[in-house]
Structure 1
Amino acid sequence: MNEEFITLTLENLADEHLCCIIRSKKPHPGVEAKRQWLAERIKEGHVFRKLREKATVFIEYAPLETAWVPVTGKNYDYIYCLWAAGDHKGKGYGKRLMEYCLADAREKGRSGVCMLGAKKQKSWLTDQSFAKKYGFEVVDTTADGYELLALSFDGTVPSFAQNAKKQTIDRQELTIYYDLQCPFIYQNIEKLQAYCEANAVPVSLIQVDTLQKAKELPCVFNNYAVFYKGGFQTVNLVDAAYIKRILKK
């Protein structure tokens, strides 16, 4: 029943719902930023496949060479996101999207498919226990428990870039690296900036706006990363309550 799904192209990108929880009749700045980001990425082989509904049912993946993550390897695909949420959960959509991705990778002659995970599941990362059912295995780790999962077709494996394992920076203030892939990021950054200004919290908000910057990041990254006092904190999007907690450290 592949007619239930659609793959975004430059021709249909402007008209299709982008599958996240955001619902708005007016243009949403985060969604529009995502469209602009995707317009460039689709040219590089990025795949965004979704249910033909206004639902959170989609997968995003890209050739590892052009994926905005500090992961290295030859001829792999990298999965950014795979979601089937809300009323659509438990209906087999996630299974079909994953199987589409794996079949697409094999058809294109890829060496395998990889994704970011962690020993303890992170709320903004794809369900790694689901991926492991398809044979994904841990092929690299960081000191604080993040994992690179891969399903290899030919025995080769990717790895975190050495700079990604550094996980320290010289800046001591709250520092957030972000790109505009996720529709939630735009307003998240606006709100955090407003909070920090209102509460005199020093903050550096650094947009990752090129592939090179993404590949050279000093931490694991899916589209967001937080540092404080020079140490890496999380890839999860954070709010004011989280900032209050880490400022007490």
Structure 2
Amino acid sequence: MNTDFVNLTTENLAGEHLCCIIRSKKPHPGVEAKRQWLSDRLKEGHVFRKLNVKGCVFIEYAPLEKAWVPIVGDNYYYVYCVWVSGAPKGNGYGRALMEYCLADAKEKGKSGVCMLGAKKQKSWLSDQLFAKKFGFEAVDTTDNGYELLALSFDGTTPKFAQNVKNQQIESKELTIYYDMQCPYVYQNIEMIKQYCEMNDVPVSLIQVDTLQKAKELPCVFNNWGVFYKGNFQTVNLLDVAYLKRILKK
């Protein structure tokens, strides 16, 4: 197994490829937006660790107090994403990345590590069965099947912020909360804008651009949250078919 891993820093951020999107050699607006987002987060203890290859092998996590998610707790790490795809799959890289995160948490004296999951595996969420092999357990839930998974070192547990349990907003039009952490968000927003303009669909696109806004969101969130007719729909990024299904409700 290749063990040449790299952690992004403020010094190497500009020159390292972000392995979420690697298909094009040309500058990608989503990747550059993520670089900008990371430039501030890295100073706050955010960790982006990747295999030093042109492939998709990485883990991304941050101190829960600074994580842009409506989850509260003391002295935890929050894992945004563990992703291994393509040829590197099946070589133990996911395990190596998670073990690094857990060791880092213990070395830093953290109370544990947590991540967003669901009773039934959902797209755009890390593999919860994989996480449970390390001892992660559901410590909080929502009425629509999302779970907060945690591995506690000291018996304490984090929880969803109370505002997450609302799962409703006043606006009845299509409403999407998003931040620029995921490189795919930029192109997804552009697709939704174009579709809604062409089909006269009212839409409200709300960029979550501060930690406070993220903590106060009315739904679970991993960088994306969709509402329609006032009700929470999904944390999944949308393609046109999925968007049409939501709008038919």
Instruction: Return the TM-score normalized by structure 2.
Output: 0.98
Q: Please tell me whether the aligned partners of residues 22 and 54 of structure 2 are also in contact (alpha carbons under 8 angstroms).
A: no
Match of 2:73 in 1: 73
Distance 1:3 1:93, change over 3 A: closer
Identity of aligned residues (%): 77
What do residues 8-60 of structure 1 show as CA deviations (whole Å, max 9, x unaligned)? 00110011111114421111000000000000000000000000011110000
Match of 1:204 in 2: 204
Match of 1:163 in 2: 163
Whether 2:42 is the aligned partner of 1:42: answer: yes
Q: Please tell me whether the aligned partners of residues 21 and 183 of structure 2 are also in contact (alpha carbons under 8 angstroms).
A: no
Match of 2:236 in 1: 236
Runs of 4+ in 1 over 6 A off after TM superposition: none
Q: Please tell me whether the aligned partners of residues 17 and 53 of structure 1 are also in contact (alpha carbons under 8 angstroms).
A: no
After TM superposition, the structure 1 stretch with the greater mean CA deviation from structure 2, 31-40 or 2-11, is 2-11
Kindly state the Cα deviation for residue 2 of structure 1 after the two structures are TM-superposed.
Answer: 8.1
After TM superposition, the structure 1 stretch with the greater mean CA deviation from structure 2, 237-246 or 153-162, is 237-246
Structure 1 counterpart SS, 2:126: coil
Q: Let me know the Cα RMSD of the aligned residues.
A: 1.0
Aligned equivalents of 1:244 and 1:59: distance in 2? 32
Counterparts of 1:36-185 in structure 2, within 5 Å, are 36-185=36-185
Structure 2 counterpart SS, 1:81: strand
Q: Which letter does structure 1 place at the counterpart of 2:35?
A: R
Q: Which letter does structure 1 place at the counterpart of 2:178?
A: Y
Aligned equivalents of 1:22 and 1:168: distance in 2? 36
Q: Which letter does structure 1 place at the counterpart of 2:11?
A: E
Kindly state the Cα deviation for residue 67 of structure 1 after the two structures are TM-superposed.
Answer: 0.1
Q: Please tell me whether the aligned partners of residues 105 and 113 of structure 2 are also in contact (alpha carbons under 8 angstroms).
A: yes
Aligned equivalents of 2:79 and 2:246: distance in 1? 30
What do residues 51-97 of structure 1 show as CA deviations (whole Å, max 9, x unaligned)? 00111100000000000000000000000000111111110000000
Instruction: Return the TM-score normalized by structure 1.
Output: 0.98
Whether 2:37 is the aligned partner of 1:32: answer: no
What do residues 136-188 of structure 1 show as CA deviations (whole Å, max 9, x unaligned)? 00000000000000000000000000001110000100100000000000011
Q: Which letter does structure 1 place at the counterpart of 2:212?
A: Q
Corresponding residue pairs, total? 249
Aligned equivalents of 2:110 and 2:131: distance in 1? 18
Aligned equivalents of 2:2 and 2:243: distance in 1? 43
